[in-house]
Chains A and B, each alone.
Chain A
Amino acid sequence: MRAALVTRSSDVAALIAEATDHSCGAVSVFLGTVRNVHEGKAVTGIEYQAYDAMAVRELQAILGRAHERFETGHIVVEHRLGFLGLGEVSVAIVAAHPHRQRAMDATRYAIEEIKKTVPIWKLEHYADGTREWVDPTRASIVIEPSPVAEVVG
């Protein structure tokens, strides 16, 4: 098991090689990537910041719990910090297991837990030049389509 914060692109092939050995019949990979829109606003990139020491500690704790739950120590996670452009990988999680279900469950568990507990924040940069810290606890702004008047001919 290994958890790290990184400031360069994750090498997914290397992570797969690191997580796997010949006892594993399944490898599950989750990649989080930078999307071009958030709540209707065009996004040009995201800047990630962390409370580094605590974030690594929390990531390691998540891998420890995943190990217990899914009986696999074959799990590696890297979370990127700094500015990332569209499409870049912000988080890479690789879990391997003799069988597919637990490999997939482990990656799913890890990303869901990362979003809940790891002290990492993202500053979205928008196409209009503004920036905003993302707050997942804030209610999303739901943009309702305008009612369309029925045209009676």
Chain B
Amino acid sequence: MAGEVPVKALLFASYADAYGSTEVPLLLVAGSTVGDAVAAVRAKVPTAIPARPLVALNERYAKYDEHLSPGDEIALIPPVAGG
């Protein structure tokens, strides 16, 4: 449908465990931002994901006010713990 923005949201670690999957397909309205996508994911698992988690857009850290395009991949990044 025109005006809708399909986006794929990726979850990892504790966020993925809480949701029960590593991928959340989203259908957002035109003009939606990274922040809107985070809010849409959080609506599904509100207690497991903090209000403003780190987020990546197409494999780069992103700001919440960046606009989304159809086919974008966002990732909610739990606190990293490499090393």
Closest A residue to B13 by beta carbon equals A121
Q: Tell me which of B24-32, B33-41, B64-72, B75-83 binds A.
A: B75-83
Report whether B82 and A120 are in contact in the complex, using a CB–CB cutoff of 8 Å: yes
- Interface size for B (C-beta < 8 A) is 17
Report whether A121 and B83 are in contact in the complex, using a CB–CB cutoff of 8 Å: no
Closest A residue to B17 by beta carbon equals A133
- Residues 37-57 of chain A: 1 if any B CB is under 8 Å from the residue's CB, otherwise 0? 000000000001111011101
**A51 CA to B23 CA in the complex, in Å?**
12
Report whether B81 and A51 are in contact in the complex, using a CB–CB cutoff of 8 Å: no
Known: A49-B13, A57-B60, A133-B14. A117 touches B83 (CB 8 A): no
Q: Does A79 make an interface contact (CB < 8 A)? A: yes
Q: Does B19 make an interface contact (CB < 8 A)? A: no
Closest B residue to A132 by beta carbon equals B14
Which residues from chain A sit less than 8 Å from chain B, CB to CB?
A: 32, 48-51, 53-55, 57, 79, 90-91, 111, 114-123, 133-138
